[in-house]
A and B are shown apart, each in its own frame.
Chain A
C-alpha cells in the first residue's frame, strides 16, 4: 500500500474548489431525538408525557370549570356535570386535576433541570480536578448525601414557609443534586484517563473545553437519565411536601388535592376519586419519565444502535 503525498505547497495554491460550511450541530439534536424515539418503551413514555403536557397547557380550554370555582354541591359523587365529583369545599375535581398538572409538571421540569445543572457543574469539575479542590467538594457532597432527605426537606420547607412553588423548587434542588453529582464524577474520572482526552490535551485544548466538549457529550445518557430521575423525584417530593401541608395550600396542585382529600377524610366518605385521581396522575407522570430513560441509554453509545464490526 502506498500513499501518494501531494506537495503541500501545491495543495495550498490550488484550494479545494468547494469548501462548504461545517455540518450543523442541529444534526446531533436530530440524531439524539431519533435514537430515543426508536426505542419502543421510550416512545410510550414520550407520548404519555406529551399528553400530560398538552393537558396542562390547554387546561383553561379543556377544564369544564375554574380550578378554584366553588359553589357546587359539596362532596358530590361523579355525575355528568362533575365527572370525578366535587371536593368538600365544593370544587370540581376534574378541573382541579387538569390545572394541577400545570404545577406538577412545571415543578418537576424546572427542579429537575436546575438540580441536573448543579450536578453536572459540580460532578464534572470534581471529576476532572485533582488535589485539594477535589477534597473540599468531596466533603460538601458527602455532607448532603448523609443527611436524610425527607427530614431535611421538611426542615428547609418549614424555615422558608410561605414561599409557594418557588420555595418547593429550591428545597427539591438543594436536597436533590448530590447523588447525581457523585454519579457524574465517577464517570468523569473513568473518561478522564481515556486516550481521546489525552489527545485533546495534545490538541491544545483548555481544561474547561476538555470537560465540557470532550467528556460531557460522552455522558449525555447519564445526564439526561439524571434529569429524568431528578424530575421524577421532584414531582414526588413536591406532592409529598404539599401533602404534608408544607407548601402553599391555596395553590391547586396534585399534592394539595391529596392534602385536602386527606383533610376531609375522602376515603371514609367513599370519595375514592379524590385520592385516586391525583395519585394515579403522579404515578403515570413518573412512569412516563422512567420509560423515556430506557431510550436515553442508546445516545452516548453509537454502537448500541448501529451494528459495527469488532
Chain B
C-alpha cells in the first residue's frame, strides 16, 4: 500500500521555488472576457508535492498552463506575477522559455499518452530532447534513456517500440520519463491518470509518488479527483470558480475542511466496503429498502398506484451462456474472446451492476443485449424476442423496451440538433404521438429529468448545456419510449463529482417510480454500491464473482475484486 506521503518530514531546504503573486488569467479581453483564474497567490517550497483540486471549469488547468508558460491565445495573463527561481515567467520570450525547460519546469499532460509521435520510436523521442538541449553527451544517450525509462518502471526494450505498440499506461509512463529527462525542478502533472483504466491509474500514481521522493523534484498535481490528490500530496489547494478557496496540508483538509466547497467535495467520497454507505442525496441502501417496505405497506391502503406498476407484460432479460469472439486483430494472433460464457437474468425492476476494468467485456455485453452486436454463441431472450438473432428491421421492437444511457454525454447528443429534436424523434417513433401531443410529451420528459424551465431547455443546443444537463437529456431520451430496461454504460464517469450524485439519484428514482430495470455498467464500485442490489464482477470476459452488492463488496472472494477495491482512491484510507 502507498506509504502516507505527508507523514515524512518536510524537505530541509525550505526555500521558495515558485511564487505566484495575485495572478489573473483571462480568456479574451474587456467585459466579455472569461475570468478563468482570479487573484491567485501561493508559494511552493523546494521538494513540495502540492495538489490542485477543482471541478471542470474551475481554472485549474489554465493555472497549470500559465505556470509553465504554455498559455495560448486567447488565454493571457491579465495581471500578477509568476516568479520561478526569482525570474518572472511571463516576461520570457519563446527561446528563453525553451532554454529554461532544462532544469526548469516540465509538464505532463492528461493526454500525454497521445503526445507521442506515432511514427517515431520511443528512443527517438528521447534523442530529440537530448539533441535540442545538448545536456547529455552523445555517447551517453542510450544509457541515459535506459536509466530514465527504468525510473518509470519500464524495461529497456520499450525504447525500440513505437507508441502504437504500447498500452495507455505505458505511454503515460514514457511521457513522464520524457518530462524527467530535462531534470526539471518543478513538474506539473495535469490529470496524469484521468484517461487511464482504474487499475493502471493506481499503478501510475504510485510511480509518480515514488519518483517525487527519489528525484526530489517539486510537483504540482492537478486533478479533479480529491481522493487521488489526498493520497499523494502533502498540501492541497482547492480551486473553485477561478479562486483558491482553501490551501492547507492534506491531513487538515481531510480532518478539518474549512471551505464549504471542500466539505461538499469530501462528502462525495465513501468506502464502498463500509457497513453503511451514504452519499449526498442517498441514504444507505439497506435502510432505504426497509423504509420502502413500510411505505409500500402503507401504500396498499391508499389507491395511488402509478400506472407503471400495474403493467403486466414486464419481461426479464435472460442471458444464457453467451460468448463473443472477435477475429484476431493481426494475423497470427489469437482471436479476442471479449465475453466468455456469461449467463444472468435481469428481472423486471431489478438493478444489476456489471463491474470490471476496461477490456473486461462489460461494454460488449451491453452491445450484445441491445442487439448492436451478435453473440458468437449462446442466447439472449427478452420476452418473445430472440435478441441474439434479431434482424436490423426489428430493432424498433427491441428498443421500445430496452434503452441505453451513454457514457459520454458530450458525444451522445448530435451537436446540431436542439434538445427538442433529440427528444421528439423517439417520441414520434415509439409512441406515435405527433404535433402538439409529441411536444407535450417532450416537455414532460424534460420535467421528469429535472430540467426546468422546460421550454427554455427544449430550445437549447447541446453545447449550451453542462455535462450533467446533457446527461439528463440523454436519460430523458432513453425514457421517451417508456422502456422496461435501461442500460447505463458508465453514466457518470465523465461528470464532475458534485454532479454524479444528482444523475445517480435520478436513475434510482426512475427505477423505483417507473419499475424500470437497470443494468448499471461501471468500474466505480462506490456508485455500484449505492444504486444496485446485485453485482457481477467481470474479468477477461468471464464472471469471476456475483452476488448481493453489499455482500460482495464487504467480503470480496476473488483476487480481482479485491484489486479493484484497493484501486479506489479514498481519502479516508490515508487516515486509517
List residues of A whose CB falls within 8 A of some B CB. 1-9, 11-12, 15-16, 19-20, 22-23, 194-196, 198-205, 214, 217-218, 220, 300-303, 306-310
Residue of chain B at shortest CB distance from A11: B444
Q: Which of B51-76 contact A (CB under 8 A)?
A: 56-57, 74
Residue of chain A at shortest CB distance from B498: A1
Q: A6-B447, A19-B443 are in contact. List 8 more A-B contacts (CB 8 A).
A: A1-B280, A6-B448, A8-B444, A16-B454, A195-B412, A202-B404, A203-B477, A300-B416
Q: Are B505 and A3 interface neighbours, CB within 8 A?
A: yes
Q: Out of A16, A194, A202, A308, name the residue touching B399 (CB < 8 Å).
A: A202
Residues of A within 8 A of B506 (CB): 3
Given contacts A201-B395, A204-B400, contact A218 B280 (CB under 8 A): no
Q: Are A1 and B501 interface neighbours, CB within 8 A?
A: yes
B381 at the interface (CB under 8 A from A): no
Residues of A within 8 A of B142 (CB): none
B342 at the interface (CB under 8 A from A): no
Q: Are A302 and B370 interface neighbours, CB within 8 A?
A: no
0 or 1 for each of B424-440: is its CB under 8 Å from A? (1 = yes):
11100110000010011
Q: Are A9 and B411 interface neighbours, CB within 8 A?
A: no
Residue of chain A at shortest CB distance from B466: A309
**Shortest beta-carbon distance, B93 to chain A, in Å?**
27
Q: Please name 20 pairs of A and B residues whose Cβ atoms are closer than 8 Å in the assembled complex, sorted by A.
A: A1-B280, A1-B501, A2-B281, A3-B450, A5-B448, A9-B306, A16-B454, A19-B436, A195-B412, A198-B372, A199-B404, A199-B406, A199-B474, A202-B399, A203-B480, A204-B396, A204-B429, A218-B415, A302-B415, A310-B56
Q: Are B448 and A307 interface neighbours, CB within 8 A?
A: no
Residue of chain A at shortest CB distance from B367: A198
Residues of B within 8 A of A204 (CB): 395-396, 399-400, 425-426, 429-430, 481
Residues of B within 8 A of A4 (CB): 450
Residues of B within 8 A of A5 (CB): 448, 509-510, 513
Q: Are A19 and B505 interface neighbours, CB within 8 A?
A: no
Q: Are B477 and A302 interface neighbours, CB within 8 A?
A: no
Which residue, of A8, A23, A220, A306, has the highest number of chain B Cβ atoms within 10 A?
Answer: A8
Residue of chain B at shortest CB distance from A2: B281
Q: Are A196 and B509 interface neighbours, CB within 8 A?
A: no
A218-B411 Cα distance, complex, nearest whole Å:
13
Residues of B within 8 A of A201 (CB): 372, 395, 399
B85 at the interface (CB under 8 A from A): no
Which residue, of A23, A203, A309, has the highest number of chain B Cβ atoms within 10 A?
Answer: A203
Q: Are A22 and B414 interface neighbours, CB within 8 A?
A: no
Q: Are B463 and A302 interface neighbours, CB within 8 A?
A: yes
Given contacts A204-B399, A307-B34, contact A11 B447 (CB under 8 A): yes
Residues of A within 8 A of B461 (CB): 302
Q: Which of B372-431 contact A (CB under 8 A)?
A: 372, 395-396, 399-400, 403-404, 406-408, 410-418, 420, 422, 424-426, 429-430
0 or 1 for each of B471-501: is its CB under 8 Å from A? (1 = yes):
0001001101100000000000000001101
Q: Are A194 and B444 interface neighbours, CB within 8 A?
A: no
**Shortest beta-carbon distance, B503 to chain A, in Å?**
9
A93-B342 Cα distance, complex, nearest whole Å:
82
Residues of A within 8 A of B501 (CB): 1
A146-B502 Cα distance, complex, nearest whole Å:
57
**Shortest beta-carbon distance, A219 to chain B, in Å?**
10
Total number of B residues with any Cβ neighbor in A under 8 Å = 67
Residues of B within 8 A of A23 (CB): 418, 420, 459
**Shortest beta-carbon distance, A211 to chain B, in Å?**
13
Q: Are B440 and A16 interface neighbours, CB within 8 A?
A: yes
Q: Are B425 and A205 interface neighbours, CB within 8 A?
A: yes
B547 at the interface (CB under 8 A from A): no
**Shortest beta-carbon distance, B467 to chain A, in Å?**
8
Q: Are B424 and A22 interface neighbours, CB within 8 A?
A: yes
Q: Are A16 and B443 interface neighbours, CB within 8 A?
A: yes
Residues of A within 8 A of B418 (CB): 23
B28 at the interface (CB under 8 A from A): yes
**Shortest beta-carbon distance, A239 to chain B, in Å?**
37
Q: Are A22 and B281 interface neighbours, CB within 8 A?
A: no
Nearest 3 A/B pairs, CB to CB: A204-B429, A1-B502, A203-B426
B141 at the interface (CB under 8 A from A): no
Q: Are A196 and B34 interface neighbours, CB within 8 A?
A: no
Residue of chain A at shortest CB distance from B57: A309
Residues of B within 8 A of A218 (CB): 414-416
A168-B455 Cα distance, complex, nearest whole Å:
52
Q: Are B509 and A22 interface neighbours, CB within 8 A?
A: no
Residue of chain B at shortest CB distance from A3: B450
**Shortest beta-carbon distance, A24 to chain B, in Å?**
11
Residue of chain A at shortest CB distance from B411: A195
Given contacts A202-B370, A307-B27, A310-B57, contact A195 B408 (CB under 8 A): yes
Q: Are B280 and A8 interface neighbours, CB within 8 A?
A: no
A15-B418 Cα distance, complex, nearest whole Å:
22
**Shortest beta-carbon distance, B462 to chain A, in Å?**
9
Q: Out of B416, B443, B448, B499, name the residue touching A8 (CB < 8 Å).
A: B448
Q: Are B306 and A7 interface neighbours, CB within 8 A?
A: yes
Given contacts A5-B513, A204-B430, A308-B463, contact A199 B34 (CB under 8 A): no
Residues of B within 8 A of A8 (CB): 306-308, 444, 448
A12-B307 Cα distance, complex, nearest whole Å:
12
Q: Are A1 and B505 interface neighbours, CB within 8 A?
A: yes
Residues of A within 8 A of B414 (CB): 196, 200, 214, 217-218
Given contacts A201-B399, A204-B400, contact A306 B443 (CB under 8 A): no
A7-B309 Cα distance, complex, nearest whole Å:
13
